[in-house]
Amino acid sequence: MNNTFLTFFAISCLLSTAFLIGLAFEIQTVEASGIIYIRYDGCIDPPTTPISNIDNVTYVFTDNIYDEIVIERSNIIIDGNNYTLHGTESHDSKGIYLFGIRNVTIKNIRIEGFWYGIFLEDSSDHKLYRNIIAANKIHGIRLWHSSGNTISGNNMTNNENGIYFRYSSNNKVFENNITANAINGIQGLYSSNNSISRNNIVNNEHGILLHETSNDNTIFRNIITANEFEGISVEGSNCVISDNVVTGFYNVHEYCGIFVGMSGKGNLVINNTVQNGFSGIQIGSNDTIVSLNTIIGNYNGILSDSTDDCTFSRNIMKKNNFAIQFRYCSDCIIFENNLNQNDIAIRLYDSCNSTFAQNTISNTIYYAIGLRGYTYNNRFYHNNFIDNRQIVYKSATDSWHPNAWDNGYPSGGNYWSDYTGVDLHRGRYQNEPDSDGIADVPCVIDANYTDNYPLMGMSHTANTAPKYNVSVISNSTINYFECLESDSTIRMYVSNMTPGQTCGFCRLTIPHDLLRPLYNITVNHDPVIYNTVFENETFSIIYFRYEHSTLEIIIVPEFPSAIILPLFIILSLITPVFIKYRKNQQG
């Protein structure tokens, strides 16, 4: 009997153990059912999922989850409550999938180990924020035909791509940390009117790539550092790239800070800081404006390749190998750039019909201008060439082609710091009395090129009312300049450029829409006499001298408009009275 009891007890224990193991397995199967649904009616399927439901609007995680989640309901909030949504990197798995719905908020979830962390398809107006999206096989966040979404405050790391959108427009991506993704921080294809701003994009293979006709996108105020290839790359039209800080690896020859490809036109690259790349800014699209950028320590500061009708203005380029390099470019305008301490300031290869004006090119280590291949009909004037080792370089294999080094008279040529000419005469042939700010003898640049009208002072462009441009040529340092359109006044503060300088001059080109002649000019409140170098219906060029110290120069019209109008009204009123009086006298 004892043996029978023991046998029965052993069998009971084995059955109990098997039951418990089976129960545990069944529970695990329920918890990891494969896909969790938040249904159209608001219910959670399966209901054992560790998600609480408040009024079918707010859904809160109560534990980690090891399944995919499909959301079928619009106008809800998914709050991960800082729990983790785990995947196993199975093919095409989606951590959270939204299809054909709108206005879902997804926040505070760590999503890892899926093919796609969050997948939006044909969906709009969603908000994804404060999530950690890490170690997903393909995309951290994927948008497909989805518009009007907001992605902000997320951390995306160690995915293949941080954010990927295709055929998706009018989305906002801001204030995310996107780091150490295997290929792209952000990639967009066929996607327009998106805004990408204030993100930290670090240590990816590419930073931001918007390709395949992605138009009218705005990329601004991002910090993009230590990415291996492009920091920002755009293939589209009418995109704005502004106020970004982009730094790379100088020793990686493929790296480009900002790249604008040739498939579009009309792009704007403005007010960015770009450092330590192979090419700081590379342009391949026509009608592009590159302005107010600071470009330091790159192999090419600006590389323009096969472009027409582009504008490069007011950029600061320092310590680059080539500050500006043009290849196969034409009809561009390059003005008011500051190129300092570069190995080579400007290099042109097979490029023509461009204008280089009012640039300051200084302390160049090798040469200021390189003319290579079939480079012709370019014009250089009102540039300041200061302390450069050599001005123009052509290799033995480069033939001479016509390029102009002045803009004729009365506009003039360039300022050369090592030129020692004098200015005693004026006029097209410099044989008339009085000075005009142009040297009496041409400046010979090399055996082929001559500046026929070298400037006796540096060229400046003054900041004036938005639609006007006052050109100033002076041998003084211009400390301050303002133009007050309201009372038609130009005010300047100047000082001697060198300690021993005793005499100064100013030559101003003044639009008549801003200030009409004649002019009253005072220097430290004392009137001075000026010469009119040239005058037509639209502008005047005037010249005057002064003895040097720190001076205030004020220029006003001889008859300000504020006085002319009241005088005209008064004369209009008294003229009929005067005529009637004369008739009475004659009668």
Q: What pLDDT is recorded for position 466?
A: 59
The percent of residues above 70 in pLDDT, for the chain, comes to 88
Whether residue 233 contacts residue 214, with contact meaning beta carbons closer than 8 Å, is answered with no
Any residues with CB less than 8 A from the CB of 341 and at least 6 apart, and which? 318, 319, 362, 363, 364, 365
Amino acid at 413: G
For 189-220, give the DSSP string: ES--S-EEES-EEES-SEEEEEESS--S-EEE
| Residue 22 scores a pLDDT above 60 | no
What is the β-pairing status of strands 338-340 and 316-318? parallel
Interval 501-560: pLDDT, tens = 889 999 999 999 888 999 999 999 999 999 999 999 999 999 999 998 878 999 998 865
| Residue 21 scores a pLDDT above 70 | no
CA angle 234–240–246, rounded 5-degree value? 65
Q: What is the mean pLDDT of the chain?
A: 89
Q: What pLDDT is recorded for position 465?
A: 59
- CA-nearest of 432, 433, 423, 429 to 457 is 423
First to last CA, the chain: 162
Any residues with CB less than 8 A from the CB of 260 and at least 6 apart, and which? 234, 239, 241, 267, 269, 281, 282, 283, 284, 285, 288
DSSP 8-state secondary structure symbol assigned to residue 28: H
User: Cβ–Cβ contacts within 10 Å for residue 320, how many?
Assistant: 27
Work out the burial of residue 322: count CB atoms within 10 Å of its CB; fewer than 13 is exposed, 13-18 middle, 19 or more buried: buried
For 420-465, give the DSSP string: -----EETTTT-EES--SB-SSPEE-SSS-EESS-BSSEEEEE--S
Q: What pLDDT is recorded for position 561?
A: 52
CA angle 36–40–44, rounded 5-degree value? 35
- CA-nearest of 558, 561, 563 to 540 is 558
What are the residue boundaries of the structural domains of the chain, listed by start? 31-185, 458-560
Any residues with CB less than 8 A from the CB of 202 and at least 6 apart, and which? 177, 178, 179, 180, 223, 224, 225, 226, 227
> Residue range 192-196: average pLDDT?
97
What is the β-pairing status of strands 470-474 and 458-462? antiparallel
- 224: β partners: 201, 246
> Residue range 171-192: average pLDDT?
97
Amino acid at 378: N
Question: To which residue do tokens 């129960």 refer?
Answer: 23
Torsion angle defined by CA atoms of residues 520, 521, 524 and 527, in that order, rounded to the nearest 10 degrees: -70
Fold of domain 458-560:
Immunoglobulin-like (2.60.40)
Tokens of 414: 């360039």
| Residue 19 scores a pLDDT above 80 | no
Residues 346-367 as b or e (16 or more Cβ within 10 Å = b): bbbbebbebbbbbbbbbebeeb
- CA-nearest of 303, 234, 318, 231 to 268 is 234
Q: What pLDDT is recorded for position 575?
A: 45
> Distance between CA 99 and CA 69 in Å, rounded?
12
CA angle 67–72–74, rounded 5-degree value? 125
Write down the H helix ranges in 203-307: none
Interval 96-152: pLDDT, tens = 999 999 999 999 999 999 999 999 999 999 999 999 999 999 999 999 999 999 999
Is residue 306 very low, low, confident or very high in pLDDT (cuts 50, 70, 90)? very high
pTM of the model: 0.87
Q: What pLDDT is recorded for position 464?
A: 65
Interval 428-482: pLDDT, tens = 999 999 999 999 999 999 989 999 999 999 999 876 655 678 899 999 999 999 8
> Distance between CA 46 and CA 407 in Å, rounded?
80
Is residue 485 very low, low, confident or very high in pLDDT (cuts 50, 70, 90)? confident
For 121-163, give the DSSP string: ES-BS-EEES-EEES-SSEEEEEES-BS-EEES-EEESSSEEE
> Residue range 163-170: average pLDDT?
97
For 97-130, give the DSSP string: EEES-B-EEEES-EEESSSEEEEEES-BS-EEES
User: Cβ–Cβ contacts within 10 Å for residue 86, how many?
Assistant: 16
- The 3-state DSSP class for residue 552 equals strand
| Residue 94 scores a pLDDT above 80 | yes
> Residue range 66-89: average pLDDT?
96
Number of H helices and number of E strands within the chain? 2, 62
> Distance between CA 32 and CA 459 in Å, rounded?
74
Interval 30-57: pLDDT, tens = 344 579 999 999 999 999 999 999 899 9
Residues 151-170 as b or e (16 or more Cβ within 10 Å = b): bbebbbbebbbbbbbbbbbb
Question: To which residue do tokens 């012709």 refer?
Answer: 376
| Residue 264 scores a pLDDT above 90 | no
Residues making up the chain, counted from first to last: 587
Tokens of 214: 């992605």
DSSP 8-state secondary structure symbol assigned to residue 303: E
Amino acid at 506: C
| Residue 574 scores a pLDDT above 60 | no
